[in-house]
Amino acid sequence: MVDNLYFFLIAVTIFFSLLISLMIVYFAVKYRRARHPKAVPIEGNLTLELLWSGIPLGISMVLFVWGAMVFFHAQRPPRGAIEIYAVGKQWMWKFQHMDGQREINELHVPVGRNVKLTLTTEDVLHNFGLPEFRTKIDVVPGRYTYLWFQPTKPGKYHLFCQEYCGLNHSGMGGWVYVMEQRDFDNWLSGNVSGQTPVEMGQDLFMNKLGCASCHTGGPQQRGAKLEGIFNHDVKLVGGTTVKADEQYIRNSILNPAQQVVEGYQPIMPTFKGQVTEEQLNALIAYIKSLSPASAGSTSSTTSSPAANTSAPPAANSTTANRANSNAPSNANTRH
Ligand code: CUA
């Protein structure tokens, strides 16, 4: 899609460059001084003026609508994509798969599946770029950005940092390895390491950070209920509502007093400076897992038929989530 748009742009550019150069030469010869010693003023020509306004307007509108379509397609990760977390840092890229595998400056993905990256950075602005996949995204401190792609050919592809980020910016890159599903499964199982993000998040939540002392338990709990909230609207003190997405959960951990849920006191301490970006990702993965109907993702080892289509992103995802909001949460059985 990107290439087609780009070739169209090049074709339009070549066409007008040639047209204008040839016209300059043609008029220079035709109206040379030897044949037209005296200039004749022209008062205006409505048809001509409408044409040279209308045609460029039409062409730029085609480019605008076409470009917007490509942009929206690139900006909306399809449901059912394999989810991978990525953290940028001066000067490396760290990846974590939902099965627990971690990699640095290397990213292994299976061919033909949609892959969604959730990206943030520990320090300064970076930009995650995959030129051969025709996609890139800014990676911003304190925020999550998303990028998705569907690799179509097995192989080894460059990944770059595409935003100047300090001394070793030019060395901040690596490789994406696109593998056949079978090879990928082998790679996954041969590379077992520690906890999955959900397990790591659960461990932080239950033990290390002590979130569980307020956020689980009966009706007397001091902290808001987290089961089933992901991707749903949350009512805040002051009457506003906010969607409980990654950004909201992150903000609630780092700036708990900023968005207090209706019916609760602003008593939660901040965890700013106490949790790393990877731990935040893990906590979010865990809280997501408490809302199984809304997470919209599959584990990278399960081969879901939906994941093999490059169908456009589901515009009705909110409706789907709402319809599933009564589904029993598996969190009840887990604890
Ligand atoms: Cu990171 Cu340039």
Q: Is the CB of 139 under 6 A from ligand 1?
A: no
CA distances from residue 227 to 118, 151, 155 in whole angstroms, order as listed: 22, 34, 41
Tell me, in angstroms, the distance from the centre of ligand 1 to residue 124's CA: 8
Give pLDDT tens digits for 25-82. Answer: 999 999 898 888 888 888 889 999 999 999 999 999 999 999 999 999 998 999 889 9
Structure tokens at 277: 């970006």
Residue nearest to atom 1 of ligand 1 (CA): 126
Candidate ranges 64-73, 92-101, 215-224; pick with highest mean pLDDT: 64-73
* Segment (H or E) for 126: strand 126-130
Rg (CA), the chain: 27
Is 174 touching ligand 1 by the criterion CB < 6 Å? no
- Phi first, then psi, for residue 287 (nearest 5°) are -65, -35
Q: Measured from the CB, is residue 79 less than 6 Å from ligand 1?
A: no
> Which neighbouring-strand residues pair with 110?
179
Task: Answer yes or no: pTM beyond 0.75.
Answer: no
Q: Which of 119, 145, 151, 110 is nearest to 133 (CA)?
A: 151
Can you give the pLDDT at residue 173? 92
- DSSP letter at 38 equals S
Q: Which atom of ligand 1 is nearest the CA belonging to 139? A: 1
223, pLDDT greater than 70: yes
Kindly tell me the sign of the dihedral angle through the C-alpha atoms of 247, 233, 73, 84.
positive
Spell out the residues 6+ positions from residue 223 whose beta carbon is closer than 8 angstroms to its own: 211, 214, 215, 264, 268
